[in-house]
């Protein structure tokens, strides 16, 4: 199965378009510290706008308790993710570069693993019918579970994310 996965997904992929991803991020209730792709300080709105939204600017980002705020979601949307997939025996290795942050994850299909990417917690990945499906369950009860399905469609990798019934897509081209 790892050989089939490597044939389909192996290599580096760069996002070139997305659909409704901001709404998925909003549904996930991510706090600002979970997205480390920062807008520079000069790109932030004036302080009076920040105050009206309940946030405060710190080191080029807006911190707010509770749900992921508009400015942080906008910052996340400015990042262009690059994903690299490789296999080593039965282990799948995924490297995600997003802004200044790089996440490395290794897992075996069908076995639970620790996730530190979109949702910190436990995840399980399955590969069937050419699709990699990852179910992520957060360790933080304030966050929501998310399902990510990756498949190759017309030579592009389509990543469909679903959280609380909200669906978004990131579409990648092979580098």
Domains in the chain, CATH or no CATH each: 2-30+81-174 (2.40.128.20), 32-76 (no CATH)
- φ/ψ of 144, rounded to 5, equals -110, 155
**pLDDT reported for residue 143:** 81
pLDDT in tens, 114-162: 988 767 899 999 999 999 999 999 988 778 899 999 999 999 999 999 9
Count of beta carbons in the 10 Å neighbourhood of residue 83: 22
Which residue carries 């996965």 as its tokens?
5
Residue 140 to residues 30, 103, 121, 166: CA-CA distances in angstroms?
A: 10, 19, 8, 20
Q: How confident is the model at residue 52 (pLDDT cuts 50, 70, 90)?
A: very low
In this prediction, residues 55-61 reach a mean pLDDT of 40
Nearest Cα neighbor of 143 from 119, 169, 167, 123 is 119
Nearest Cα neighbor of 6 from 107, 95, 108, 85 is 85
pLDDT in tens, 90-106: 999 999 998 888 889 99
pLDDT higher than threshold 60 for residue 37: no
Residue 33 to residues 44, 68, 82, 162: CA-CA distances in angstroms?
A: 16, 9, 20, 21
Structure tokens at 30: 């991510």
**pLDDT reported for residue 167:** 97
Mean pLDDT of the chain: 79
Kindly write down the DSSP assignment for every residue of 41-59, as one continuous string. GGGSPPHHHHHHTT-EEET
């Amino acid at each position: 199965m790892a050989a089939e996965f490597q044939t389909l997904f192996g290599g580096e992929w760069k996002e070139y378009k997305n659909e409704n991803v901001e709404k998925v991020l909003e549904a996930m209730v991510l706090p600002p510290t979970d997205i480390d792709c920062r807008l520079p300080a000069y790109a932030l709105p004036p302080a009076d706008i920040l105050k009206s939204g309940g946030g405060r600017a710190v080191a080029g980002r807006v911190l707010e308790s509770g749900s992921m705020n508009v400015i942080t979601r906008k910052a996340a949307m400015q990042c262009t993710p690059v994903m690299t997939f490789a296999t080593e025996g039965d282990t799948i290795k995924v490297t995600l570069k997003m802004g200044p942050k790089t996440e490395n994850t290794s897992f075996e299909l069908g076995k639970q693993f620790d996730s530190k990417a979109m949702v910190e917690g436990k995840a399980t990945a399955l590969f069937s019918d050419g699709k990699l499906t990852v179910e992520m369950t957060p360790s933080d009860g304030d966050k929501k579970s998310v399902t990510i399905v990756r498949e190759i469609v017309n030579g592009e990798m389509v990543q469909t994310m679903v959280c609380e019934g909200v669906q978004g897509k990131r579409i990648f081209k092979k580098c």
